[in-house]
Structure 1
Amino acid sequence: MKLDLKELTGIAVSTAGNIENTVIHGVTKDSRQSSPQSLYIPISGEKFDGHRFLMQAIEQGAVASLWKEGTPLPEGLESSFPLLYVKDTVESLQQMAKLYLRKVKPVVIAVTGSNGKTTTKDLLEAVVSTTFKTHKTQGNYNNHIGLPLTILSMDNDTEVIILEMGMSNFGEISLLSRLSEPDLAIVTNIGESHIEYLGSREGIAKAKLEIRDGLKESGLLIVDGDEPLLQHLSSPNVLKCGYGEDCTVKIVNQDGDEDGFTFELEGENMVYSLPLLGTHNVKNAAYAIAVGHYLNIEDSAVNDGLKNLTLTNMRLEKYRGLNGALLINDAYNASPTSMAAAIEAVKGLPNYKRKAVVLGDMYELGPTEEKMHRGVAEYIDAEITDVIAIGEKGKWIGEEVLKKGKPGPNVSIFNKKEEASDAIRSLLSKDTAVLFKASRGMALETIIKPFIEDVQEAGK
């Protein structure tokens, strides 16, 4: 970005220092990182106060700062140093982002959902960047602080910005949507993530649909057309993607193997190719294709984008393991819905005699967490040959699979992930595919590393 500091004076209660002649090339909230020509955003948390680190931020390249009214200035600060005095630095950060969006005027695509947000964001970038200069959320910068920082990190000539919107409670998506005023909004699905705070899947659906609160009047809402909790949505400005008869973007003629899928959309002549595992990712790709159509991107360019997709880490990543085994790292996070989808992806793999799943704890499921873990066993049938259940909660999955009796998979249960290493190693052969899936807190990917023979992704 490039912005004259004087353009931001409207968000300030008052100013100090040399405002007129200061140009900023970015914003930062981290005084430890090199940030040349940046505006420092001091944020106060429960355990720290960013105002204490202004001098350090200046050493790292900050040339101006927001400053909460009434907060003492650090000793040694030059009187000419530009300051924008505000009532609340986080709210002012959000106001800055809104102002910058209106200055750059990109097409804004907002993405939320219980599962698949990040993969859909990556698919959108793959498609849109074939034709437009595109910027997207990096990492997990998808909350009330991360999203405005994402906006303020885009270049001045950005044509499309893709914003991932996360939440754990009511009102959070609404704030992000009103801040960014999207042209297109996508709800990937309704799962169980954060049900601990939202009470039910109905509550989750209500919270996710807050993405409409800032949607432009002429904006387009794209949703999971196979989700009953979204069936009530009906207007010319709503697209439903999926497999059902009521879907306005209907997936047909789907075929797949371990290298991905080919599929079509009803009424089109294009055969799309997607180098990803999991039927659920075909639907995520359909969202990206629908956006491509909205932006008048050529179908051939859309398909090229999908074929050249680069995913964020730990989303059904494939690795060649010891003895030629296929290792599938989907350990970034987990909910019952995403775990079931990942298991189905493994079941759909051809050419593997042994299909194993290493499953761990899922968090933030509330008082019904045991029932939800045990419910995963419903998706584990004779197509899965081995189940390795790990953790205090993950063990419930293994116990429930054992209850189903034979015929069924071999089941091993471990309290700690490190204890499962020998059991995993014993499975590995060229005829074996192994899925690793658990919530982020388990860091399940750490037990995969010793078994990776080829550091490059399998098939690449």
Structure 2
Amino acid sequence: MSQGPVDHELVFEGVATDTRKDCTNKLFVPIVGEVFDGHRFIDSAIENGATGTLWEKSKPFPKDLEGRIQVYKVEDTTVGLQKLAKQVLKEQKPYVIGVTGSNGKTTVKDMLEAVLSPKYQTYKTQGNLNNHWGLPMTVLAMPEGTDVLILEMGMSSAGEISLLTSIANPDVAVITNIGESHLLQLGSRENIAKAKMEIAEGLKTDGLLVIDGDEPLLEPVYKNTLACGYSATNELQIDKVEKRENGYTFTLKNEDSPFEINLLGKHNIKNAIYSIAAARKLNVSESEIHKALSNLTLTGMRLEQDRLPSGALIINDAYNASPTSMKAAIETLVELEGFDQKIAVLGDMYELGNEEEALHRDIASAVKAPITEVITVGEKAKWIYDGLVEDKAQQVPAVSFISKDEATSYLKGKLDDRTAVLLKASRGLGLETIIKALGN
């Protein structure tokens, strides 16, 4: 990384990539994408307080701005951002936990923060900043004195997790599960599993890989692997699960003390096991782990419960969806007690490739009593409806709408305090807007 005249006393208070936000005393990194180039906004960065910038050598720096900001010239600003993050990690040496998987990444990230923060100063990926730009930005936003850094790692194609783990060099890596997200790009669940397993490539030599031990595609290829799940081959085996009004209690095999989570969705038990594994690796006391798990709060739109003015319960799980997570959400609605009507509002799932019609139709196999009705929303979700009406053994009635407005109008007349409604779809559909339209 070469630069113009260097002010060795210059200290940056953070990194900025968006000049519409406060850039005071920050290093501006102009990101170059397919349809945009952040270099064009250097004047706005200076105007908003940036005191330094990375700058690609191939691009001329505006002569009228010379001397107004410290310039560090690099071959590629994205690579420069990634190298900067790697250097910060090397200098500050936080304990790094990387989390990937088809579903549950954000939930596990939140759980990890909950069980670790009583003992350590933690910082986690904010929002969905989990790609080749977002992960280094998360590292560079890490507060001074951070003990544990929890990094969510997303992907859409092979090689992306490999890059992220090479930057993060995690002490613990978690693979939550293998679903069908990104079948469009990767073609098969086997290829998705291989792409997720790339996270082990960057593990420290004494690092721990935590995996879903019930997934045949996730074989323990790394020397220090901890398998978690229900089958007897798992080192952390889930045992004695009991459903409670708003969650579950469970034990681990050969352990007496039950854990409690006040979260809907049986799949969250396995998510909790991953956080228990990491907390034990970091010597968090058992009492602190139990207490943290029983007081969890998660990022929004993940089985989030709310009451409408009508008294109906809304379960908002509309943050994203894949066939695996949609079936899990439906099972959550099935298990819910105390309601006469249980309505599943199911929307489009994206990025499923050539199998998208079959995967939507197959959702019908998860629908069963005591669900009382299914409402599908969107063109792709119409296949869920088709799967339901074509199955002669299926007794749950269904209706299909292309627009959210039509679905909302239909739903309005069905709501009372004995009704529970599940919302589940891919993020792009914005299914949660139905809640606002229903008066909440």
The alignment's TM-score, normalised by the length of structure 2, stands at: 0.97
Segments of 5+ residues of structure 2 without an aligned counterpart are none
Is residue 278 of structure 2 the alignment partner of residue 329 of structure 1? no
Aligned to 2:102: 114
Segments of 5+ residues of structure 1 without an aligned counterpart are 1-11, 454-460
2:124 alignment partner AA: K
Supply the distance in 1 between the matched residues of 2:16 and 2:5 (Cα, whole angstroms): 19
SS at structure 1 position matched to 2:274: helix
**CA, structure 1 residues 450+212, in 2 after alignment: closer, same or farther (shift >3 Å)?**
same
1:205-240 per-position Cα deviation (integer Å, ceiling 9, x unaligned)? 00000001101111100011111111x316661111
Aligned to 2:78: 90
Aligned to 2:213: 225
1:70-116 per-position Cα deviation (integer Å, ceiling 9, x unaligned)? 31222432426311110000001000000000111011100000000
Which residue, 137, 155, 178 being the options, matches 1:190? 178
| Alignment check: 8 A CA contact 2:334 2:369 kept | no
Aligned to 2:58: 70
Aligned to 1:145: 133
Aligned to 2:327: 340
Supply the distance in 2 between the matched residues of 1:445 and 1:57 (Cα, whole angstroms): 35
Which residue, 309, 325, 343 being the options, matches 1:356? 343
Equivalence map 1:1-400=2 (5 Å): 12=1, 14-79=2-67, 81-230=69-218, 232-233=219-220, 237-400=224-387
SS at structure 2 position matched to 1:213: helix
Q: May I ask how many residue pairs the two structures share in their alignment? A: 440
Is residue 382 of structure 2 the alignment partner of residue 417 of structure 1? no
1:279-310 per-position Cα deviation (integer Å, ceiling 9, x unaligned)? 11110011001111110001111122222322
| Alignment check: 8 A CA contact 1:326 1:430 kept | yes
**CA, structure 1 residues 277+372, in 2 after alignment: closer, same or farther (shift >3 Å)?**
same
Supply the distance in 1 between the matched residues of 2:409 and 2:359 (Cα, whole angstroms): 28
SS at structure 1 position matched to 2:217: helix
Residue 427 of structure 1 and its aligned partner are, at CA, apart by: 2.5
SS at structure 2 position matched to 1:203: helix
Supply the distance in 2 between the matched residues of 1:70 and 1:195 (Cα, whole angstroms): 37
Supply the distance in 2 between the matched residues of 1:153 and 1:74 (Cα, whole angstroms): 28
Supply the distance in 2 between the matched residues of 1:24 and 1:184 (Cα, whole angstroms): 29
1:166-190 per-position Cα deviation (integer Å, ceiling 9, x unaligned)? 0000000000011111100000000
Supply the distance in 2 between the matched residues of 1:285 and 1:251 (Cα, whole angstroms): 10
Q: How much identity, in percent, do the aligned residues show?
A: 51
SS at structure 2 position matched to 1:228: coil
Supply the distance in 1 between the matched residues of 2:205 and 2:137 (Cα, whole angstroms): 25
Supply the distance in 2 between the matched residues of 1:165 and 1:249 (Cα, whole angstroms): 23
Supply the distance in 2 between the matched residues of 1:112 and 1:178 (Cα, whole angstroms): 14
| Alignment check: 8 A CA contact 2:170 2:202 kept | yes
Residue 47 of structure 1 and its aligned partner are, at CA, apart by: 2.3
Residue 398 of structure 1 and its aligned partner are, at CA, apart by: 1.1
1:373 alignment partner AA: H
**CA, structure 1 residues 95+236, in 2 after alignment: closer, same or farther (shift >3 Å)?**
closer
SS at structure 1 position matched to 2:180: coil
SS at structure 1 position matched to 2:432: helix
When structure 1 is superposed on structure 2, of 57-66 and 358-367 the one drifting more is 57-66
Supply the distance in 1 between the matched residues of 2:63 and 2:306 (Cα, whole angstroms): 54
Supply the distance in 2 between the matched residues of 1:321 and 1:240 (Cα, whole angstroms): 41
Supply the distance in 2 between the matched residues of 1:229 and 1:390 (Cα, whole angstroms): 32
The alignment's TM-score, normalised by the length of structure 1, stands at: 0.93
1:25 alignment partner AA: E
| Alignment check: 8 A CA contact 2:14 2:141 kept | yes
1:207 alignment partner AA: A
Supply the distance in 2 between the matched residues of 1:234 and 1:146 (Cα, whole angstroms): 28
Residue 35 of structure 1 and its aligned partner are, at CA, apart by: 2.4
How well do the aligned residues superpose, as a CA RMSD in angstroms? 1.4
Aligned to 1:435: 422
